[in-house]
Amino acid sequence: MFYSYLVIAFRNLWKHRLFSFINVVGLASGMMVCLLALIDIKGAFDYGNFHPHSDRTYRVLTDVTSSDNQMVAFASTPMPLADVLKREYGFVEQTTQVIRDYAELTVDGKKLVDTYCAVDPAFFTVLGYKLASGQPAIAPRTAVLTPQTAEKFFGLSNPIGKVIHHQELGAITVTGVFQPLPTRSHLEFGLVVSMSTRSTENQKREQTDWKQYKAGYTYVRLKEGASVEALEKALPTITARNTKGIQWKTEKSYTFRPQSLATLSPAFEELQMSTWEPTWGKLATEMAVGLITLLLAVFNYVNLTLARSLSRAREVGIRKVSGAVRWQLMSQFMAESVILSVFALGVAYLLLRLIEPMPFVQQWLIGGVELNPTLWAVFVGFSIVTGLLAGFVPAHVLSGFRPAQVLRSQTGLKVFKGITLRKSLIVAQFTIALIAMIALLSVARQQNYMATADYGFRSEGILNIPLNTVPYQRLANELNRIPGVERVSATSELFGSHGGEYRKVRRQKTGGDSTAVFITAVDQHFIANMDLTLLAGQNSPEMTTDTAGEGSPGRFVLVNEEAVKAFRMGNPREMVGQTLWLNDSTEVQIAGVVKNFQFTTFSWAIKPLILSYQPKQFRYVNVRIADGAPEATLAKVQGVWKHLNPHQPFTGEWYRDFLYKRHSHEDDVNFMGLLTALAFSIACLGLLGMVTYTTETRVKEVGIRKVMGAEVRQIIWLLSWDFVKLLLIAGGIALPLGYLAGMAFLINFAYHVSIGFETLGGCIGLLLGLGGLTIGFRTYRAALSNPADSLRNE
Question: Per-domain residue ranges for the chain?
Answer: 1-47+279-412, 56-263, 422-451+663-794, 469-647
Cis status, amide bond into 466, omega within 30 of 0? no
Q: Measure Cα distances from 729 to 434, 725, 736, 764, 776 in Å.
A: 12, 6, 12, 11, 18
Q: Measure Cα distances from 340 to 13, 103, 626, 646 in Å.
A: 8, 54, 64, 63
DSSP-assigned beta bridge partners for residue 103:
114
> What would the pLDDT profile of 393-452 be if each residue is shown by its tens digit?
777 777 776 665 555 544 343 433 444 666 787 888 888 888 988 988 898 889 889 988
Residue 258 DSSP one-character state: E
CA-based end-to-end distance of the chain = 40
> What would the pLDDT profile of 264-311 be if each residue is shown by its tens digit?
888 888 888 888 888 888 788 878 888 887 887 787 777 777 666 556
DSSP-assigned beta bridge partners for residue 533:
none
What pLDDT is recorded for position 163?
92
Cite the beta strand spans of 544-644 per DSSP E.
556-560, 579-581, 587-594, 609-612, 620-625
Torsions phi, psi for 46 (to 5 deg): -85, -15
Task: Characterize the bridge pairing of strands 556-560 and 587-594.
Answer: parallel
Element containing residue 462 per DSSP (H, E)? strand 462-466
**Are 474 and 488 spatial neighbours (Cβ–Cβ below 8 Å)?**
no
Q: Measure Cα distances from 686 to 296, 368, 427, 433 in Å.
A: 9, 36, 11, 13
Residue 273 DSSP one-character state: T
What pLDDT is recorded for position 547?
47
Give the integer Cα–Cα distance in Å for 66 and 53. 35
Q: Measure Cα distances from 376 to 37, 325, 346, 349 in Å.
A: 14, 35, 11, 11
Handedness of CA 199, 203, 205, 207 (dihedral sign): negative
Q: What angle do the packed helices 666-697 and 699-707 form, to 10 degrees?
A: 70
Task: Characterize the bridge pairing of strands 514-521 and 609-612.
Answer: parallel
650 Cβ neighbours under 8 A, 6+ residues apart: 465, 638, 641, 642
Q: What region does 446 belong to: left with phi over 0, alpha with psi -120 to 50, or beta? A: alpha
Residue 287 DSSP one-character state: H
For the chain, list residues with pLDDT below 50. 409-419, 545-549, 551, 794
What pLDDT is recorded for position 91?
94
301 Cβ neighbours under 8 A, 6+ residues apart: 23, 26, 27, 337, 340, 390, 391, 394
**Are 75 and 100 spatial neighbours (Cβ–Cβ below 8 Å)?**
no
Residue 362 DSSP one-character state: I
> What would the pLDDT profile of 645-703 be if each residue is shown by its tens digit?
887 788 899 999 999 888 887 777 777 777 788 777 877 777 777 787 777 677 777 78
707 Cβ neighbours under 8 A, 6+ residues apart: 787, 791
CA angle 705, 19, 353 (to 5 degrees): 145
Residue 438: name the closest of 33, 731, 735 by CA: 735
Task: Characterize the bridge pairing of strands 170-178 and 163-166.
Answer: antiparallel
Residue 616: name the closest of 714, 705, 549 by CA: 549
Element containing residue 489 per DSSP (H, E)? strand 485-491
Three-state SS annotation for 107-161: ECCEEEEEEEEEECCCHHHHCCCCEEEECCCCCCCEEEECHHHHHHHHCCCCCCC
